[in-house]
Every structure is written in structure tokens, then in C-alpha cells.
Amino acid sequence: MRKLLIIAFKDVLLIFRDRAALLFMFLAPFALTIGLGLATGSFSGKSNSGILDLPIVIVNDDNGQLGNALVEMVQSDQLADLLEPEFLTDLEIARKMVDDNKTVAVVYVPAGFTNSIIPNDVTSNSTQIIQLELYGNPSSPTGVGIVKNLLEQFISEVEVGRVSGTLAVTQLLESGAIDPSQAMKIGQAVGELQTDTQVGTSS
């Protein structure tokens, strides 16, 4: 049983270390939906003009692993025909673009988003999660709905990873496979993945 728990946690940790695996985990379910839509013509044709190349604005104040994963996701080849992302640093300017009907939606990643989900201490009892924010254009309900569904899938996969990691550490503690001091080190290692990702992105 201990070996199974250790293997399970190792797999979770590897996923969070590997940005490509993390991105694939987020994209796979949504990419399937997009693929089916393109195959059936749901996202093409004159009757659906404007669905492809949806202009959206991303304001990423997080700059952590998950914030970067979201940025990479909207820039991915799988979503290249669906989204036309622009990146700004000023949230008010981004929202004004929505108000002026220049973009479909603004996705805001607040500072601390990654750390609220992957804290330095995995055993922490804190349940306060910083939420992504979506500011949509009411004149583009279909486009906003697509962006919302994409974010919901992203958040769902993030939550699965967070719960799996926390559960794995808890089970390892309860089984005696690790002691509390080791759990702290594991939590710190997960937190340091943010720095690793930033270094990998800038290199």
C-alpha cells in the first residue's frame, strides 16, 4: 500500500514539474470538444462567422506556474484557430477594451493565484483559493460562453491536481510512509516549482 501511495504522489509531482504534461492535462478535454466541433462544422461556415479567432485579453498578475500554464494554453496550437489572445498588464485598460467592443472577454489572473493552489506547505489547512476573473462582453454571449467553458475546464483540472496532491501527502502521513517534517519538505518542493517554471520559461 505504501508503495502505491508513493508512486501515486510521484506521478502527481512529475505532472506539476513537467510543463508540457501540465499543459496537455488542461488541454486534452477541451481539445476533444474543439476537434468534434470542427469535424461537424459547429465552429465553421457562414452561419457561425465570428466564432473562430475570438479576440480575448489576458492580464496575468500571477506569473507563477499556473498563471504561465494558462498563458501557454491560450497560445497553444490546439486553440490557435479558436482564440486570438492579446496580453496586457493594465486590467482597467483591458476592461475598457471590452466596454468599447474591441474584444470578447478579459481573463484576469490575480497575483497569488498559483500560491493559493500550490502552497509552500501542502499540509496547510488554508482553503482560501484566489479565483480567476472573467470580464465578458454582453454583446458576444457565444464567444464569452466559449471562453468561460475553457476556463472552467482549466480550473477543474487544476482542482483535480490540487486535491490529488494534498490527498497523496495526507495518505502518506497517515500510512507512516513519511513523517510531518518530510511532508513540509515535500510541500516546499511543490512551491518551488513556481520558480522552476519561471526559469524554464525565460531560458
6-10, 16-20, 33-37, 42-46, range with the lowest pLDDT: 42-46
Asked whether 30 and 152 are in contact (CB, 8 A), the reply is no
Q: Which grid coordinates belong to 17?
A: 514539474
The whole-number pLDDT of residue 40 equals: 38
CATH code at 133?
Answer: 3.40.1710
Rounded mean pLDDT of 120-148? 80
Residue 158 included in any domain? yes
pLDDT reported for residue 194: 38
| pLDDT digit string, tens, across residues 56-111 | 999 999 978 889 989 998 998 888 889 999 999 999 999 999 999 999 999 999 99
Residue type, 9: F
Residue 43: per-residue pLDDT: 41
User: What confidence category does residue 182 fall into, taking pLDDT thresholds of 50, 70 and 90?
Assistant: low
| β partners of residue 106 | 57, 135
Asked if pLDDT for residue 162 goes beyond 90, the answer is no
Q: Which residues span the domain enclosing 125?
A: 2-30+52-197
Residue-averaged pLDDT of the chain: 71
Q: Please state the domain count of the chain.
A: 1
Distance CA 148, CA 45 (A): 23
Report whether pLDDT(180) > 90: no
Structural domain contains residue 69: yes
Q: Report whether 53 contacts 61 (CB < 8 A).
A: no
Give domain status of residue 99, yes or no.
Answer: yes
43 assigned to some structural domain: no
